Amino acid sequence: MNIFSDPQLDVRSEKPNPGSYEWWYFDAISLDETYSFVIIFYEGNPFSTRYIRALEDATKNPKAKAYPAVSVSIYEEGAPIYYSFTEFEEQRCSFRGDRPMLKIGEHKMNCNIDGNTLKYLLELEEELPSGDALRASIRFVSPIAEGPLFNGPKNDKTDGHQWNLVQPRAEVHGDIEILVKKEDSRQISFEGRGYHDHNMGYEPMRSEFKEWYWGRFHFDEYTLVYYMMNRQQNEQHCAWLINRENSKVAEVFEDIEPSDKGLTLFGLHTARKIILQSSKAEVHIQQSRLLDNGPFYRRYSSDAFLRIKHRGLVESKSGITEYIYPSRIYSSIFWPFVDMRIRYAAENPHWVQRSKTLYRWTW
């Protein structure tokens, strides 16, 4: 993985190779840790069975731009209260290559640089076949770091996966309206802390890595960002404490170990705990509450315990952590589970998606 941090490059990249993908990822947790959400915009949805079928058809040469999508997950007290994953027709979407701006269906992302401040506005609007509906306007605001967090080559397409850490820590505020019944509208005035990154891959994910753990936690003075990518040829494990005041890396963890592995319902062999060590700090992560469970992907509401050794500082925070095993995406035995959850462009919705009760069961 090539790592860099540059808001100017938070734009659409060219993806000429079949199997390429790109996503803009946003998550946030409210200050009281009651609400959290994850919003992802895709050009080249890597989880799409339509895209995968086209990749495996020798007569086709599918391009990422034909498979745009948006996924939205909203949680209250660690339980999902809204979920959608919708793939759109290409002509209903636009992605800018000169500035951070995109539109997928009625969903929008726009970025404005105001002096030394980076501001993202997310506008969401949709109604699902089940009758559930969502309207939201959410802002991610953060200072622009004085210098780059990382000094890797920018947008180097010789590497399979690119990771642009745009906003390690942002102040997040906005209004979210969830309509789950015609007579039951939920209004959320959201105030919290969030995170935004941008990922690009120029080959199918299974060609680049076998499994990937990643997550982030916002402590009072620091934000912890980590990932463990077990690649096809080697391991790439990295974690950083990023200073809240100056957005610079304050500590790099040299020792990152998953532990307490067990089998999931779908047969994934994943870690329940992750331990990070350096000469000055240590973090113990407990992947405590399962938010999303699938045949190739898991999302957790996790607890992290930070200890700054020389200061005796101990602090705990909740955060969002994730795990993916991409080769499973290509196993057709699991596709019925995927097709229940993703609504595909120009196709009738799955019968499960039309049912309020059954579609919520897939959450």
Give the C-alpha distances (Å, rounded to integers) separating 190 from 143, 242, 284: 20, 24, 28
The alpha-helical segments, DSSP class H, found in 69-168 are: none
pLDDT score, position 151: 58
Instruction: Locate 275 and state its tokens.
Output: 């331990």
Q: What is the pLDDT of residue 155?
A: 52
Specify the pLDDT at position 34.
95
Q: How far apart are CA 16 and CA 138, in angstroms?
A: 32
Backbone φ and ψ of 334, nearest 5°: -95, -10
**Percent above pLDDT 90 for the chain:** 75
Q: How far apart are CA 136 and CA 187, in angstroms?
A: 10
Point out the residues of the chain with pLDDT beneath 70. Answer: 147-148, 150-159, 181-183, 232
Backbone φ and ψ of 210, nearest 5° = -90, -45
* pLDDT value at residue 150: 67
Q: What residues contact residue 189 under an 8 Å CB cut-off, 6+ apart? A: 175
Give tens-digit pLDDT for 134-186. 999 999 999 987 766 765 555 555 557 899 999 999 999 999 999 986 667 88
The half-sphere exposure of 272 on its side-chain side, counting CA atoms within 13 A, is 8
Q: DSSP for 113-148?
A: EETTEEEEEEEEEEE-TTS-EEEEEEEEEEEPPSS-
Q: Which helix (H) or strand (E) holds 205?
A: helix 205-208
The phi and psi torsions of 216 (rounded to 5 degrees) equal: -155, 150
The one-character DSSP state at 326 is G
E strands, 182-280, in order: 184-201, 209-218, 222-231, 235-243, 249-252, 255-263, 269-277
| pTM for this entry | 0.95
Which pLDDT score, from 0 to 100, does residue 240 have?
95
Alpha-carbon span 325 to 213, nearest angstrom: 9
